[in-house]
Structure 1
Amino acid sequence: MTVDRGDRVRLDYVGRFEDGSVFATTKEAVAAEHDLIEAGDGERSGFSPLTFTVGRGEVIEGLDEGVVGLAAGEEATITVPPEAAYGEVDETKRREYDPEAFEAMVGQPPEIGLHVEAQNDLHGNVTAITDDAVAVDFNHELAGKTLVFDVRVLDVAEVGNH
């Protein structure tokens, strides 16, 4: 049985950038090899196959469409351009704040890499700090990047009407 829209699929994947560096995976050994396991994760059970219903927007568009036509047990490489993943980098999502105003809003002093959540539910990271400004980038961390997924379809199940 091959994957069709509306089917529930379960797959293992290794997600990497075009340069080959791995950014995500369902395989614990691969995560360990590429330093993707945070200190303290220890007995973490977050390494399990990805399961989603094709065509429901549960995963990025390029991966959603890329599995259509694959069969259980099949392996494939799916290349996803930014527009079918997390979009292009949007310069309007890069903002600067007065350092004192930033600290008042966030409740702590700024530091590079600090993750913040704005009142409008945007999430961002502090990217630069000067005496006059704190720069925060609210783009998704994978925005503007082409993503390459090596997938292995573990199983496919029809969920109902297509």
Structure 2
Amino acid sequence: MVKAGDTIKVHYKGTLNDGSQFDSSEGREPLEFEVGSGMVIKGFEDGVVGMKEGDKKSVNIPAKEAYGEPNAEMIFDFEKAQIPSEIPIEVGGTLTMNNGQQNVPVKIIAVEETNIKLDANHPLAGQDLNFDLELVSIQPGA
């Protein structure tokens, strides 16, 4: 049975409550990670604990155990003049910004005369997530 410290491989399909799919391992190698390492969201990690090889399971992960609720501080204005002219600026589009450590995707939520309003929240923030899981293998931890 899966426990913290084990390295596992799992196939998964992720859907929102409206049934739309946001991610899947279908057609790819299964996701491999060490349980308890924080490599995946808490609710996903909690969902695999106790599974055995070959087990299938569906889990619902509330937003707070997934990507959290949207944070108002992650919505900000940015000067349009600072964006190269060849980059399209339209509501719903995305840009990639660098926070000094890594690239962060941001969504354009409003276009004004001199500024655009950007949302740097994770695209799945505020969403409850559903995963269909199939445990492929367990490599016991030390």
Task: Map Cα deviations across residues 30-89 of structure 1 (whole Å, 9 max, x no partner).
Answer: xxxxxxxxxxxxxxxxx2100111000011111011110111100001111111111110
Equivalences for residues 60-139 of structure 1 within 5 A: 60-100=41-81, 102-103=82-83, 108=87, 110-112=89-91, 113-120=93-100, 121=102, 122-139=104-121
Alignment check: 8 A CA contact 1:110 1:129 kept: yes
Larger fraction in strand: 2
Detail structure 1 runs of 4+ shifted over 6 Å in the superposition: none
Q: Which residue of 2 aligns with 1:159?
A: 141
Q: Which residue of 1 aligns with 2:24?
A: 25
RMSD between superposed Cα atoms in Å: 1.8
Alignment check: 8 A CA contact 1:72 1:154 kept: yes
Larger fraction in helix: 1
TM, length-normalised to structure 2: 0.89
Unaligned runs of 5+ in 2: none
Q: Which residue of 1 aligns with 2:129?
A: 147
Alignment check: 8 A CA contact 1:117 1:123 kept: yes
Rounded Cα–Cα distance in structure 1 between residues aligned with 2:105 and 2:6? 32
Unaligned runs of 5+ in 1: 29-46
Alignment check: 8 A CA contact 1:103 1:109 kept: no
Alignment check: 8 A CA contact 1:4 1:54 kept: yes
Alignment check: 8 A CA contact 2:94 2:105 kept: no
Alignment check: 8 A CA contact 2:16 2:127 kept: yes
Percent identical among aligned pairs is 29
Give the letter aligned to residue 148 of structure 1: N
* Count of residue pairs the alignment pairs up: 139
Q: Aligned-pair distance for 1:109?
A: 5.3
Specify the SS of the correspondent of 2:127: coil
Q: Aligned-pair distance for 1:123?
A: 3.2
Alignment check: 8 A CA contact 2:75 2:121 kept: yes
Give the letter aligned to residue 129 of structure 1: V
Alignment check: 8 A CA contact 2:68 2:125 kept: yes
TM, length-normalised to structure 1: 0.78
